[in-house]
């Protein structure tokens, strides 16, 4: 049952700092997963929902418009259960994350502006996503709507332009203020209304 599980989502656009936050939380001894690190969780699917066997190195706009980056719900549940009785902190983002929101006791949005995102993407050494090809324009085009949807959903907004230690401190202070998020709920959290 989803109600027995406990998980916190820390999401944001590419370049918002999700992976950096995951590294700090892991160092603090928390059960944390960067969704990019689990190929069974995160994957591209086509418009029929079929998992893409092999994605292009540099997807163009046409390819991106016909595919979604999604989490496998069964794998997400497996990861959360494997962490019990501890809370799982999932750092990442997917096109279907709000469809799976009932699994999370809290959702955090690492909010960021376009110039900061572009500067961070340009500084990356280990990932071409957002630095080259059509993925950069894809990120720019989706940024505002992505953040607007999460704010409307009721995500806790964290200013991701701050230094990393301040971002993590802001997240942890909100988690401590909501003991159900860190201890594990006995019933699923109700997603806030998006109206």
**119-140: average pLDDT:** 73
User: With 80 as the cut, is the pLDDT of residue 128 above it?
Assistant: no
Q: What percent of the chain has pLDDT over 90?
A: 52
Q: Tens of pLDDT along 8-44?
A: 999 998 889 999 999 999 999 999 999 988 989 998 8
Using DSSP, state whether 179 is helix, strand or coil: helix
Q: Count other C-beta atoms under 10 Å from residue 155's C-beta.
A: 26
Residue 110 φ/ψ, nearest 5 degrees: -80, 95
Residue range 166-191: average pLDDT?
65
Residue 184, pLDDT > 50, answer no
Is this structure's pTM higher than 0.85?
no
Q: Pseudo-torsion of CA 131, 92, 10, 188, nearest 10°?
A: 160
Q: Please identify, in words, the CATH class of the domain defined by 2-178.
A: alpha beta
Task: Give the pLDDT confidence score for residue 41 in this predicted structure.
Answer: 95
Which of 80-89, 108-117, 141-150, 185-194 has the weakest average pLDDT? 185-194
Q: For the residues 59-88, what does the mean pLDDT come to? A: 90
More reliable by pLDDT, 173 or 180: 173
Map out the domains of the chain as residue ranges. 2-178
The mean of the pLDDT values for the chain is: 84
The residue count for the chain: 195
Kindly tell me if the per-residue pLDDT of 95 is higher than 60.
yes
pLDDT at residue 185 tops 70? no
Contact 170, 124 (CB under 8 A): no
Structure-derived torsion over alpha carbons of residues 88, 92, 94, 97, reported in degrees to the nearest 10: 40
CA 13/CA 19 separation, integer angstroms: 11
């Amino acid at each position: 049952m989803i109600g027995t599980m406990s998980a916190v989502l820390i999401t944001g656009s590419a370049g918002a700092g999700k992976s950096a936050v995951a590294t700090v939380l892991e160092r603090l001894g928390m059960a944390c997963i960067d969704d990019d690190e689990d190929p069974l969780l995160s994957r591209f699917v086509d418009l029929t929902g079929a998992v893409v066997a092999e994605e292009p190195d540099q997807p163009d706009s046409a390819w991106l418009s016909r595919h979604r980056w999604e989490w496998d719900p069964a794998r997400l549940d497996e990861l959360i259960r494997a962490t019990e009785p501890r809370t799982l902190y999932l750092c990442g983002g997917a096109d279907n994350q709000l469809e799976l929101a009932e699994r999370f006791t809290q959702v955090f949005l690492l909010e960021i502006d376009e110039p900061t995102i572009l500067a961070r993407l340009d500084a990356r050494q280990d990932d071409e996503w957002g630095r080259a090809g059509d993925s950069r324009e894809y990120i720019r085009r989706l940024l505002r709507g992505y953040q607007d949807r999460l704010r409307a959903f009721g995500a806790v907004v964290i200013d991701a332009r701050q230094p990393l230690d301040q971002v993590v401190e802001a997240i942890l202070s909100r988690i401590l203020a909501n003991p159900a998020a860190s201890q594990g709920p006995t019933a699923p959290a109700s997603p806030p209304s998006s109206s």
